[in-house]
Structure 1
Amino acid sequence: MAVDFETLTYDIGGVQTVVKAIGTGKPVIFLHGAATLEGFDFAAGLADRFRVLCPSHPGMGHSGDAPHVADMRDMLVHYLNLLDALDLAEKPHLIGFSMGGWMATELAAIARDRFDKVVLMAPAGLNDPAHPAADLGAIAPQDLPGYLAHDVAVALRYFPDGSDPAAAEAFGAARGREGDMVGRLCAHHGMGHPNLRRFLARITNPALVVWGTEDRLLPAAQAPLWVAALPDARLHLVEGAGHLLAQERPETMTAIGDFLAA
């Protein structure tokens, strides 16, 4: 069953920024990963208790192009400006997934007073050599679904099945557009920042680190590093889940909601 979102649109520094919103209650801002292929339907798992706001990053998903974005600093300014435009009545919780986890980390580090609790879902960014992430450039396109989910059938839902050439072409164009933006964000230091562990020490907000035990893109062995570096964090491991843990184990969103509501 399709999830019924409200679509909000803001002009943020000349970038048409689209926010998919659902639910009522305390606001939650969700920052997506390096692609939007899986969509935002998982947010329905929080919508009974929270107002979930899912913006598409500039140059990605539903939002407009942003040729001015040169690196992560531009994204951080964009999201600070979006927070101003949203003009929320209360301090939102912040959730970041994968690349969005890296983004959420830097955002919370510089603006922790603007957020309540922070949830990092299989976050990118630490680039720890003892627990390396998968080399995306070395993964053949046909093998990518197996890196995204432990149960590959879950990931395959979000890929063209070959029956509709037009859909496959649109999928490829969307991934190419998003890949261009990701390339700009990662041009200087790769998917992260060499001082990110230092940044984590600034995030005094209550934090939850969530990771699938079978993640092949970003290994769950990184999770204790995040928890140790955050001043007030706990760990929630999701057994039998890969990188797309919210899609593979929808009950994960209930556990996150419990943390946010406590």
Structure 2
Amino acid sequence: MTDYKAAADAPRSGARSIDARAWQESWDRQQEAFMPDREQRFAAMLDAVAATTGGRPPRLLDLAGGTGTISLRALARFAGADVTVLDQDPVLLAIAGASLRDRGTIVDADLGDPGWRAKLPQEGFDAVLTATALHWLPAERVAALYREVREVLRPGGIFANADHMPEEGLPTLSVKLRDHARAVREARYATGAATSWPDWWKLAAADEFLGPKAIERERIYPSVRHNHEWTPPAAWHVETLRAAGYTEAGILWRGGTDAVVVGLR
């Protein structure tokens, strides 16, 4: 595990630091340009967590959690929640560590490696949640990951994956929805209402603290990686969850060509 909390402590030591709140807001605005209903999917996921824990503070794993977006919302909703953010991106983990400080655990691990579970400080999670991340993995790795996630859940625990999952019965409409969303997004970029994905990363690279981490990120994630998204329909995910041994699996939420699928251990 890497001590990303050092980013928050830097002002006391005289080292470089970041404004975690400003970077979180910047990340949220950039992501919302892609997903205007982003908060709705998070709310649906956390509603499911509340339902399966009976209202007690959950032990939650924020898988491929980036800046800790889900963890921060879980902490705001559930007083006393125990959150762990797992990711490999040094830029996003630095922001997560500065935001969470002593309120959560940061784990640096590669989900492409089946050994990622060995880096967790604990298992027996009430919930494992992930959003808009697993589409970078190939089909066979996602299927294996679903089995691995099941093993870190307590009996009765819930796994939720929010991602690009088109409805296979609406192929023509799905294309039209994507084209419409792209036009709206491009208009927002043109007026400066939102920062595009490449422009956000340029800002991070120019930041005194995040710049070196952006260089490290380029070594971890070659640019070609972002040309290989894999986005099967939600039905594929549901079937794969069932095959992985979850007692229940289905679609929790849908918004256009995105969906949240869940599995119960």
Q: Is TM > 0.5 for Structure 1 vs Structure 2?
A: no
TM-score normalised to structure 2 length: 0.43
Normalising by structure 1, we get a TM-score of 0.44
Structure index of larger Rg:
2
